[in-house]
Structure 1
């Protein structure tokens, strides 16, 4: 039950990194990608994946997307914009090549899927706080020598002019922020959104395609501050949204940055049964969102 200040407690993520992990859920699309894109023999896919999962789980306080194999479910393909993003990346005859940045890209799995579906590698960018994940992505997909996308390790909260992520500034048409903003307090969400806007190309109302930031994240019909505890971060506050509060976030982002955004979103039942803590609360939902720049 929420307290008077709407702060909910959640269970610690885990006490120690797991020694062994299992492949959970449907990884049929990942299996196809690993066999046909990466050239992993079908009989070796499971052992290859388990090797990477266990390596990834040893870094930092393991994320649920790693420990529950969710990054291999390619849930982003269910986003209403997935085919739109892919068509923009693969379109010919546009005035300039479309670019996509995946913020908090984990092992860069979504970039590999877009590449497998025909997107030019040079149009694909990704960033993660942990360089180990980016390196493990090359190992997972066996493409260190063939993937020409751009991965950069860095902290989105590092100021412009001091960050490795400065290389993205002014270059992006589309930004994927899946399972990202819900990791932070509302104050930090505002900072992250402001930084993402700096990564977008200069706005021109006459551009052939509109700039968009989109993704999927944990939400709630009871929005507000949550408290998470982990052995890497300690006690940390984060803000979980519903549609109304997320739209208000972007209104505030617009006021901060002198930009205007059109928000679209929907709440869905969580597809991860049995998850404990905040994500498993009865009020928890999955939000699919898209924010389109209009000025």
Structure 2
């Protein structure tokens, strides 16, 4: 779902929790809270002109979802323990979650980010006051529903490490990734598209036990379609429940799955549900 670039932005939605405030101060070098707010609002306005997405409208890009995930510390340990471990941030927007992982110790050149719009990554450099030289983390733009970019049916995969500087699609990473983070991504698509994307993302993981996909998105106690009014538009979103979501991953590979629902109270007082989940490779898959 997108708004239009003419949709008026609501600055009252801005607010950084203490962890995010510290992170943005450290990353941008802007220590004054009013100056930091002005900077973030300016980048938000630029981004909304080219990509009028709800996550930009509602300041979703300021929330450090990756570090709030219960698997985060174990993911960081994978980065320390596994030689040449690779982390992918799927649907990265400005790249805040990948930058958080780098801040916490994952090597910057081993974190790969992807989103459908190159402009969002470029604006991430504006937001964090960095350059491709000062933050040399690989980025690749593409549509995760396009099989030429991401497919569950890979061709021949090399055993040699991929050249991250010359990636042309996520298909170049089949079987190579140690960890994949995906927050606020799957619920953007239909039930069938989500199921297909699960299979495609599963194919990216290394078959080594412990490789993991983790994230969060909107869920429901019983799977079905949510319909709600947002800024005068009717929004439909298909949401899985934990049991059905786990089954998608278990059908896609030898995964140990975990998924829980967390209650979320919207600003208007309505109750919603966020599903926090992970799928961990439990045994070496057989080729």
- TM-score normalised to structure 1 length: 0.78
Distance 1:242 1:95, change over 3 A: closer
Distance in structure 2 (CA, Å) of the matches to 1:289 and 1:95? 22
Structure 2 regions of 5+ residues with no counterpart?
A: 151-167
Q: Which residue of structure 1 aligns with residue 96 of structure 2? A: 109
Q: Which residue of structure 1 aligns with residue 37 of structure 2? A: 46
Given candidates 266, 271, 277, the residue that maps to 1:289 is 277
Deviation at 1:161, TM superposition (A): 6.8
> Is 1:152 aligned to residue 140 of structure 2?
yes
- The 8 Å contact of residues 223 and 241 in structure 1, kept in 2 or not, is answered as yes
Distance in structure 1 (CA, Å) of the matches to 2:143 and 2:192? 16
- The 8 Å contact of residues 29 and 73 in structure 1, kept in 2 or not, is answered as no
The one of the two structures with greater contact order (alpha-carbon pairs below 8 A, sep at least 6) is 1
1:18-167 to 2 correspondences below 5 Å: 18-22=7-11, 24-42=14-32, 44-63=35-54, 65-89=55-79, 91=80, 94-144=81-131, 145-160=133-148, 164-167=169-172
Number of residues of Structure 1 aligned to a counterpart in Structure 2: 262
Distance in structure 2 (CA, Å) of the matches to 1:131 and 1:24? 24
SS in 2 for 1:265: strand
Q: Which residue of structure 1 aligns with residue 179 of structure 2? A: 174
Deviation at 1:218, TM superposition (A): 0.6
Distance 1:190 1:236, change over 3 A: farther
Deviation at 1:153, TM superposition (A): 0.7
Deviation at 1:240, TM superposition (A): 0.3
Distance in structure 2 (CA, Å) of the matches to 1:273 and 1:235? 18
Distance 1:131 1:175, change over 3 A: same
- The 8 Å contact of residues 52 and 140 in structure 1, kept in 2 or not, is answered as yes
Q: Which residue of structure 2 aligns with residue 265 of structure 1? A: 259
SS in 2 for 1:58: helix
Calculate the aligned-residue CA RMSD, in Å.
2.8
Distance in structure 1 (CA, Å) of the matches to 2:118 and 2:106? 24
Deviation at 1:227, TM superposition (A): 5.6
1:230-276 alpha-carbon deviations (Å, 9 max, x no partner)? 99xx9986420111111222233x2xxxx22111111111154327x
Q: Which residue of structure 2 aligns with residue 249 of structure 1? A: 248
SS in 1 for 2:219: strand
Distance in structure 2 (CA, Å) of the matches to 1:69 and 1:236? 19
Distance in structure 2 (CA, Å) of the matches to 1:271 and 1:124? 32
Q: Which residue of structure 2 aligns with residue 198 of structure 1? A: 203
SS in 2 for 1:192: helix
Distance 1:161 1:39, change over 3 A: closer
- TM-score normalised to structure 2 length: 0.80
Q: Which residue of structure 2 aligns with residue 217 of structure 1? A: 217
Deviation at 1:213, TM superposition (A): 0.7
- The 8 Å contact of residues 98 and 111 in structure 2, kept in 1 or not, is answered as yes
SS in 1 for 2:195: helix
Distance 1:161 1:27, change over 3 A: closer
Deviation at 1:172, TM superposition (A): 0.8
Segment of structure 1 superposing worse, 24-33 or 237-246: 24-33
1:28-80 alpha-carbon deviations (Å, 9 max, x no partner)? 333322332332342521111111111122223422x2111122121332211
